[in-house]
Amino acid sequence: MNRIQLKYLSLIVVGLVLALVLPRVLRGHMPEGISTALAPRCDTRSQLDVHYAPQEDLERIDVDTLRQAHSSIEFYGYSLTDEPVIAALKYAALKGAIVCVYLDNEQTENELRRPDLRSALLDLAATPNVAIRVKRSRVLQHTKAYVIDTRLLREGSANFSRSALMQQDNDLLLTNDDAAIIGFEHSYQLAWGRPDNVPLAQFAQSGE
């Protein structure tokens, strides 16, 4: 076997190793309980869609996107008060998606004082396949983002409230860019794994 043949053989071996190892590396960035059946796709045709409120109905975009989830949703919420968004998270979970929701301390404390919203959030937390954790620290959890099925990232300035999604000047970005999704996964794993996080039901009881 000559040197050129050896070179091509080496490239083939490296490619096979990466194909076997890379999915395991990506799984290492997933919060516990999140399905990794659908890993980020190596697609060079990354797309970015940007939408703006109040010219566009960002609530409808969020609801339609969340309802498309099949395997997982990793959700950062600063304010989670929009009932259609809460309902879309529940819908995805009842279809079988593992839904992880990470919320801000102070905002959640305020939201739990509203009886209707308290009921909706606790109902979501009690839904099969749903886990909701609240950041213990008073340092803001200010991210408004989520990833569905490890394939599509939502980012932007819009909180998950009706006024933010439909009335205020806000933007909403959707992308399937692999690097952006992997970066989100790493950030989410670190936030989700903080040892002082509090499950929503426990957090609600502590404020009674």
Task: Determine, yes or no, domain membership for 189.
Answer: yes
Higher pLDDT, 199 or 4: 199
Per-residue pLDDT tens digits for 163-207: 999 999 999 999 999 999 999 999 999 999 999 999 999 999 986
For residue 105, what is the domain's CATH number? 3.30.870.10
Distance CA 30, CA 74 (A): 9
51 is a domain residue: yes
Per the domain annotation, does 21 fall within a domain?
Answer: no
Answer whether 48's CB lies under 8 Å from 175's CB: yes
- Is the residue at 144 inside a domain? yes
Q: How many domains would you assign to the chain?
A: 1
- Domain range for 90 is 31-206
Residue 139 lies in a domain: yes
**Is 156:144 a contact under the CB 8 Å cutoff?**
yes
Residue 19 lies in a domain: no
Question: b or e along 25-40 (b: 16 or more beta carbons within 10 Å of the residue's beta carbon)?
Answer: ebeebbbeebbbeebb
Structure tokens given for 131:
């886990």
**pLDDT-wise least confident of 2-6, 57-61, 72-76, 189-193:** 2-6
Domain-located, residue 13: no
> Distance between CA 112 and CA 120 in Å, rounded?
10
What does the pLDDT look like over 66-107, one tens digit per residue? 999 999 999 999 999 999 999 999 999 999 999 999 999 999
Asked if residue 86 is part of any domain, the answer here is: yes
